[in-house]
Amino acid sequence: MATKVAAHYISEKISKVRWLPEKLQQSERFVTGSWDMNNNFVRLWRLQSNPYAQNVDHTPRCNDKVSIEGDVTGLEFVTDDILAVSSADGHLSLLNVQRAVEEDQIQRTARSERLHEFKCSGTSAPCTAVAVYGTDIATVGEDGCVNVLSANNLKQVKRSIEADSMSLLAVNFVSQQQLVTANRMGVIRMFDTRIASETQPKIAFMVACQDAKSCNFVSCMATHPMQQHILICGSEEGSITVWDLRNLEYPASYLSAHNSPITDIGFHNQDPSKLFSSAESGEVWMWSENKTHIDPNQQDGKSAWLSGDRVRALVNVDGVLSNIRKPINSFDVHGTRLLCGSDSEAVYIVDDIL
């Protein structure tokens, strides 16, 4: 692959990165969220052509920033310019991005009440992840609760579910009403946002682990953009487990991948045959479905990811980034560009990944 990697040091440990959504063109703007700093910020960046025309075409420049109380733990776009930010003080904020010709701007437009707290001591619990479906925003926290809010009114929590008695690390919408959460033990639960916590159906399944005696949390989940019943989970031991949500008796596939906790996982939005995964040890891998190997007779619409032990044969793995040595906490792909944020306090922009 003829990929170009450019690292840009920005003096902040980065917990999340997201490209700004663009429909028809390659996105030139992105946002980053920081963690474990004295002051944490969500920053809005814009790519500019590099004045020192070497082999790096673009350099990002910070256009605007918003100070966030506590670590930024989740960044998701609700619409093209509204960004949901979850933070370690248990709040959810909405930021509004204004694209401009010269200097783009970003402002906080709403902040929720404290969504997550430890009941006994009354202290705030970190919000650990955020997921968006339409205008619905779901947050999960270390207190084991799931909160669903509407982006139109952050002051009112639409549904609060006491999902777990330990912290939840990931959340994802499967459909408008259904969401999945993953906890520190590797247990994934499915909830219906229309039902109150007491009457929730108890759907729980556990991610596979090589050593049954060790703990294995699920740190990230992703659903296939076209086939929403395919749920992919990345875990602490570095393995990827795939579930077919129509059949929860056993996992559809299990792949041992990285040798450190997987930090983020996700499909390419426009090309769902590509999956990306990033790991604590500083790697980003690209998994692409091997088109040549698919037998036309067996084309029954079944995804390669659900084919159990044969997945390895049907999916190719390429290293996109390696040797970063510090954890890659988050990535985002838009078009042909991959963006990564890392604890090495740099953003990495990889061009021409496809």
Partner 1 sequence: MNDDTLPTFALGDALATRCGNTLTASFVPGGSKIALSAYRPLKWSSRDAPSDSAGQDMVLIHMAQESSLYTEPLLRSLLSETNATFQTLQTMCQVQHGTKKGSEYIKISRTYRSIVRCCLEKLEHAKKMPEVQEDETKEQQYADAIMTFYAIECLWYLFEILYMQQHHNQLIVPQLLEWTRFHYPHTEDRATDLLLMAEEASEVDNYWDTLKTLVMLGHLDVTRAILSQHRKANQAAYQSAETVLKTMPIYQDGYALQKFCSQWEYWHNDLDRKLVSQVFAAEPELEVLMQLLKGSNEHWDEELLKSQDWYEFLPGYLLYTRPTCKPFELRIAVTNWHNRWSQLRPDWQMTQMSRMVRQLMDHDVKLFIYEAQKLNDSHWFATHLIDLIYHSGQLKTHFDQQNLDLPALRHAMIFEFGSYLMTTHNLWQLGIDYLDHCGQEGIAAIELLLPRIPLKTERQAFKILALAKRRGLVNVEQDICKVLSRRAYNDQRFGSALEWAIRSKDVLAVTAIADFILKHYSKTGIMLCQDVITSIGGRMFLSPRLVFLSKYYEFYEFYRQRDFLSGAELLINLLASRITPDYFWPSLLIDALPLLESEDPKIFSKETIAILQHLEMELVPLIERNKLNTAKFSNQTSKTIFKDYRVENIEEILDLMRLACARNLARAMIIENTAPAS
Among 278, 344, 350, 353, binds partner 1 (CB under 8 A): 344
Alpha helix positions (H), the chain = 311-314
| Structure tokens that stand for 55 in this block | 């082999």
| Structure tokens that stand for 300 in this block | 């029954």
Give yes or no for residue 4 binding partner 1 (CB under 8 A): no
Minimal distance, residue 164 CB to partner 1, in Å: 6
Nearer to partner 1, 35 or 305 (CB): 35
Among 76, 104, 143, 289, binds partner 1 (CB under 8 A): 143
Draw the binding track, 178-217, toward partner 1 (x: CB under 8 A; -: no contact): ------xxxx----------------x-x-----xxxx-x
Q: List the interface residues with partner 1, window 72-111 (CB under 8 A).
A: 73, 88
Q: DSSP letters along 197-221, please?
A: GGG---EEEE---SSTTS---EEEE
Among 69, 81, 113, 345, binds partner 1 (CB under 8 A): 345
| Structure tokens that stand for 94 in this block | 């909405």
Nearer to partner 1, 76 or 143 (CB): 143
Give yes or no for residue 248 binding partner 1 (CB under 8 A): no
Strand-by-strand arrangement of the 262-267 sheet: 262-267, 274-279, 283-289, 315-321
Burial of 351 (0-12, 13-18, 19+ CB in 10 A): middle
Q: List the interface residues with partner 1, window 120-139 (CB under 8 A).
A: 120-121, 123, 126, 128
* Closest C-alpha among 227, 226, 186 to residue 209: 186
Minimal distance, residue 181 CB to partner 1, in Å: 12
CA distance 237 to 242: 15
Minimal distance, residue 127 CB to partner 1, in Å: 10
* Closest C-alpha among 192, 186, 157, 193 to residue 169: 186
CA distance 337 to 333: 6
Nearer to partner 1, 219 or 278 (CB): 219
Minimal distance, residue 31 CB to partner 1, in Å: 18
* Closest C-alpha among 106, 80, 79 to residue 95: 106
Among 28, 164, 244, 283, binds partner 1 (CB under 8 A): 164
Task: Give the total of residues touching partner 1 (CB under 8 A).
Answer: 50
Minimal distance, residue 118 CB to partner 1, in Å: 5
Give yes or no for residue 280 binding partner 1 (CB under 8 A): yes
Q: List the interface residues with partner 1, window 284-323 (CB under 8 A).
A: none
| Sole window of 10-18, 53-61, 226-234, 250-258 interacting with partner 1 (rule: CB under 8 A) | 10-18
Burial of 145 (0-12, 13-18, 19+ CB in 10 A): buried
Burial of 102 (0-12, 13-18, 19+ CB in 10 A): exposed
Among 28, 43, 45, 144, binds partner 1 (CB under 8 A): 144
Q: Hey, is 292 helix, strand or coil?
A: helix
Residues near partner 1 (CB under 8 A) are 9-13, 35-38, 71, 73, 88, 118-121, 123, 126, 128, 142-144, 164-167, 169, 184-187, 204, 206, 212-215, 217, 219, 236, 260-261, 280, 325-327, 343-346
